[in-house]
Amino acid sequence: MGLLSKKDANLILDPLADNNPITIQVLGICSALAITAELQASLVMAIAVIFVLGVGNVVISLMRNIIPSKIRIIVQLIVVATLVIIVDQVLKAFAYELSKTLAVFVGLIITNCIIMGRFEAFALANGPWKSFLDGIGNALGYGVILILVGFFRELLGSGTLFGIPVLGDPIAKTGLYATGYENNGFMIIPPAALIVVGIIIWVQRTKNPALVEEN
Amino acid sequence: MAINTDKNSYTVVFAAVMVVVVGSILAFLASYLRPTIAENERFEKQQNILYAMGVNENGDDVGAVNFVPKEIVESEFANYIKEQLVIEGGKITENKDAYLIDLKKQLAAKKKGQPYKLPVFIGEKQSKKFYIIPMYGKGLWDAIWGFVALDETMTVQGVYFDHKGETPGLGANIKMRYFMDDFSGESILKGTQYAGIAVAKGNNDPLNKDKDDNEVDALAGATITGNGVSAMIKESVNLYKPYLEEIRAK
């Protein structure tokens, strides 16, 4: 990466794997459970969080020297809420269809612990450029897991990807369904997300034993 | 530049300034975008009403719905919707803007015992008449609403459901065609009773071949949203009962 110094590049790359907000820090689980039954919803959520966390981190970082420490959490909340409402309003005016898909995420983004966590742990102590990279990196790390979980849940639960049937028609029994395969209804209910996330964590720690905590 | 950010006075001033700044940004944005957003919402309502009576661009894909395009929805609405009526305290009047009536507010007024208005839309397609009534209720997380198009015999010709925040992949699927299409052909009458149509688990009829059971097959994992849909249909049917009786008597 010629564009970024090694340190800066790590800000983006670390959260993708070895310091992933979902699988290592176990943050943002609530939204990972709620919206990953479909790949499309996962993708939309990932993009929304990348935007909010990237911009929010910069805003908080710029304000870091003037925010009174007593009310910093409230200030952080206001910044997130404002950003989310701006996105929501602009989409409603210029991309109405998309805004309807997003409506359900607005509340989930504001309460996403990854966002508050990065504001508090990183942006309050670092400059805007570093904070921006950190925000994008963490949001990407979150998004990657979301999309991965969404992929498996939609494929196994509904036999579709992005709403398009990929395994054949379950009612007419064509494609894979002709062999007696059935969709697993369990995959579309929230507990399945927990299991998929658990499997991802297991695979990741098996490949990299350094991540396993000592007791 | 060393500001003592721990002082109480600083905290108060900071909070005040922040509120004013954020407030003005949002207020400016909201008032600047309001006309565009209002127009989008108006078109959407027209699209929904037309969708319920079968004026849409649905193809063979039974997943998502395809509305009449936004660009032509206004003229199509004028073409197909022959009458817009408002029922207020038993009196029926015509009103060109009846589709803008917010059913949520009317139901709230009814609850408080105040006078309320109920809109009805009469559509005509290939000389067949459709009586379209709006619905409003609650799902698991937030509001759900929709329109149901009936013919003179109280048989459902088409429905449209939408929701504010049901779970994607579960309750949110009430707006998928494979759920909504099942309602067509069902009757809201059971004998002479206005029974509505229930979203039923285990009705043993997943392909919905039985059109006389007042039931459609439920969505897996979306029990509460489904119950919300059943309740919403029942409430609307009861609300419009006097008017529907009139149509049947005709």
Tens digits of per-residue pLDDT, B162-211? 998 887 778 888 988 888 988 988 888 888 888 888 888 877 777 777 77
**Cβ-defined contact of A188 to B221 (cutoff 8 Å):** yes
Domain membership of residue A88 as a residue range: 20-197
Which residues are CB-neighbours of B92 under 8 A, at least 6 positions away?
B85, B86, B243
Which residues are CB-neighbours of B244 under 8 A, at least 6 positions away?
B131, B150, B154, B194, B237
pTM: 0.75
Q: Is A94 within a domain?
A: yes
Round to whole Å and give the CA distance between B118 and B124: 20
For residue B172, the model assigns a pLDDT of 85
Q: Does the pLDDT value for residue A3 go beyond 70?
A: no
Length of chain A: 215
A139 touches chain B (CB under 8 A): no
B64 touches chain A (CB under 8 A): yes
B5 touches chain A (CB under 8 A): yes
For residue A18, the model assigns a pLDDT of 77
For residue B61, the model assigns a pLDDT of 65
Which residue would you say has higher pLDDT here, A180 or A131? A131
Q: What is the mean pLDDT of chain A?
A: 84
Predicted confidence band of residue B25 (pLDDT cuts 50, 70, 90): very high
Q: Residue range B73-91: average pLDDT?
A: 88
Q: Does the pLDDT value for residue B2 go beyond 70?
A: no
For residue A1, the model assigns a pLDDT of 45
Q: Report the candidate in A54, A51, A33, A53 with the shortest Cα–Cα distance to residue A42.
A: A33
What tokens does A107 get?
């509340």
Q: Residue range A144-150: average pLDDT?
A: 90
Q: Is A80 within a domain?
A: yes
**Cβ-defined contact of B221 to A82 (cutoff 8 Å):** no
**Cβ-defined contact of B165 to A107 (cutoff 8 Å):** yes
Cβ-Cβ contacts under 8 Å, B60 against chain A: none
Cβ-Cβ contacts under 8 Å, A157 against chain B: 169
Q: Does the pLDDT value for residue A173 go beyond 50?
A: yes
Strand order across the beta sheet in which B156-163 lies: B91-94, B81-88, B117-125, B128-138, B143-150, B156-163
What tokens does A53 get?
């966390």
Q: Report the candidate in A38, A48, A207 with the shortest Cα–Cα distance to residue A142.
A: A48
For residue A170, the model assigns a pLDDT of 72
Q: Are B104 and B143 in contact (CB under 8 A)?
A: yes
Cβ-Cβ contacts under 8 Å, B36 against chain A: 93-94
C-alpha distance from B112 to closest chain A C-alpha (Å): 29
For residue B136, the model assigns a pLDDT of 94
Round to whole Å and give the CA distance between B225 and B144: 8
A171 touches chain B (CB under 8 A): yes
User: ∠ CA A170-A172-A175 to the nearest 5 degrees?
Assistant: 65
Structural domain count of chain A: 1
Of A35, A90, A188, the CB nearest to B220: A188
Q: Does the pLDDT value for residue B147 go beyond 50?
A: yes
C-alpha distance from A154 to closest chain B C-alpha (Å): 8
For residue B63, the model assigns a pLDDT of 63
Q: Residue range A163-177: average pLDDT?
A: 78
Round to whole Å and give the CA distance between A146 and A16: 12
Q: What is the mean pLDDT of chain B?
A: 87
Q: Which amino acid is at B191?
A: G
Of B18, B64, B220, the CB nearest to A163: B64
**Cβ-defined contact of A68 to B33 (cutoff 8 Å):** no
Of B26, B169, B220, the CB nearest to A41: B169
Cβ-Cβ contacts under 8 Å, A41 against chain B: 168-169
Q: Are B93 and B85 in contact (CB under 8 A)?
A: yes
Q: Residue range A50-68: average pLDDT?
A: 91
Q: Is A97 within a domain?
A: yes
Count of pairs with CB atoms under 8 A, one residue in A, one in B:
89
How far CA A179 is from CA of A154, A169, A170, A174, B45, in Å, comes to 20, 12, 11, 8, 44
Counting other chains too, the contacts that B97-101 makes at CB distance below 8 Å and 24 or more residues apart are B99/B45, B99/B46, B99/B49, B100/B42, B100/B45
Q: Residue range B29-57: average pLDDT?
A: 90
Q: Is A215 within a domain?
A: no
Q: Which residue of A has its CA nearest to B3?
A: A66
Q: Residue range A161-189: average pLDDT?
A: 80
Cβ-Cβ contacts under 8 Å, B2 against chain A: none
Of the residues B4, B9, B36, the best mutation for testing chain A's interface (the one with the most A CB atoms within 10 Å of its CB) is B36
Which residue would you say has higher pLDDT here, B112 or B202? B112
Share of chain A above pLDDT 90, in %: 15
